[in-house]
Every structure is written in C-alpha cells, then in structure tokens.
Structure 1
Amino acid sequence: MILPKLDEIDALDRCALRVAWREVVPRSAPPRMSQVFMRRVLAFDIQAQLYGGLPKNFLRDLDKAANGKTASSKSPGLKPGSRLLREWNGVTYVVDVTEEGFVWNARTYRSLSKIAHMITGTHWSGPRFFGLSKGSPK
C-alpha cells in the first residue's frame, strides 16, 4: 500500500480523494462527505498508520466513556493542598484543591470548569482557565 503524502492531500480532487481513501481507510467513504472533511480524515489516518495512532490511555478513557463510566474528575498533577491562583478582570481568585474537590469562596465544587464559569459568566475549560493545560491563558 502506498500512502499519499500529507502535503499532497490538499491538491486532490474528489475522485482522487476517493482513490486515496480506499488505500488508507478500511471502509468506504460516506457518499456525501465533504472534500474538506475527507482530507482531515485521510490526514489523521495516514499519521495514525505512520506514528501509531492515539495513545492507549486515551483509547481506554474513550472506551470507558462509551460504556457509561466516567474518568477521574481531578485535573492531572493536582494534589490535595495545592492552591490555584488566577487573575481575571483585575481580581485574583484563589482555589484550593482538597480530597473532596476544589474549594472556592468557602464552597466545594467537583469541577474547575464550574468555578471558571461562575467567575467569567461563560463556559471555559477549568484546567485551561487556571493554566493547567495547553493553550492556557497567559
């Protein structure tokens, strides 16, 4: 099997995309799938074949979620006794990590995202809002 090169995918028309699809993906392309989405799926599958696909722990968590089980609600690397600080609109917010969850304003929450939503009034990823993940605010 000859895999198309990633930088060549953008130049393929619909017919060429379907030919590449048959080489890369083990099922037929949906008949009405947009060319943009076909390119994304092809690029992902080519990279997965070249570099090994998704991490095993991600696949395990995905399988658990599909079966109705929940993953751990704690953010990675946070231990009870940790303290998170975030300045927002000139106000510094302090969140303490406990065994039960996250304490802010003398209330315990199970989710950092809930606290971030209460602070900002909009939906945020809690770990991202508090600077714990990629793409975190500076």
Structure 2
Amino acid sequence: MTKDGIPARLAALKTMPTADLKAEWQDLFDGPAPPFNRRYLESRLAYRIQELAYGGLKPETLRRLEEIGEELDGGDRRKRSRRADQGRPIVGTRLLREWQGVEHVVTVTADGFDWQGRPYKSLSAIARAITGTRWNGWVFFGLKRQGGRS
C-alpha cells in the first residue's frame, strides 16, 4: 500500500469488526492478537501500520528511552511492575486544580505530596484542607473518575 493510502487504512480500523482487527494483528505482528479490548487493538494496529509505512523510532530515541528506564528502576522489572500497579504519578509531577477561583498546585514527592510548602501523605488530606470537606483526593485532582475508573 502506498503512503497515500495510510490515512484511509487507519480510519478503516474504527469500523472493522473485531475478528478483522485480530486478523490484521496476525498479519502485522506475526502472532495472535492479545486478549485486550478493541480500543487497545485499534491503537496498536494504527501505530504498527504507521511504523511500517514511515519507519519507527530513531535508534538514538530508543537508546535514550532505555537509559531513562534504567535511571528510574535500574533494570529491575519488579520495580517497574510495582510502579505501574500503584498508578501513582511519578515524583516531580505537578497537579493543578482550581477551586473557587483559586488555582492550587500540588507536587508529587518521594514521600507523598507537597502543597503550599507543606508535606502531606495523601491527596485526600490536601483536598480536605482546600475545600473544608471530605473528598477522595484522586477524584478531586482528576486522577480518578467518581465511579472508580482512572
């Protein structure tokens, strides 16, 4: 397929039956599709189609990503999976929340969170300090939806 046909091929993924997506996966990845949801299959197939047509990441980009991974977890896959399981933002992340016209900035630290120069163990404590009422801190800062989804 020419590069001109790539946008149409990507658009077709949205309307393809799941069985066809799985067949496409088999063709592009030389193996069976994983048992993940449709959205995952679509996004990975779209990336792979573009990767094959336009090329993947540059070697120096891949090397840099590996270096960053090593810096974060020293190559220890257990730490990598534990971090993913926690779903906690990485240290240094800044969370912004406007409440009654005032913007509040919380920084994620190694031991918890920092708000207005004070350390906190939980986002819920910060949300309570800001609003004066009990909140799920993850919901208040938009890291989790009210129904429990991230």
- Could you say which TM-score interval applies, normalised by the shorter chain? 0.3 to 0.5
Identify the structure with the greater helix proportion. 2
Structure 2 length-normalised TM: 0.42
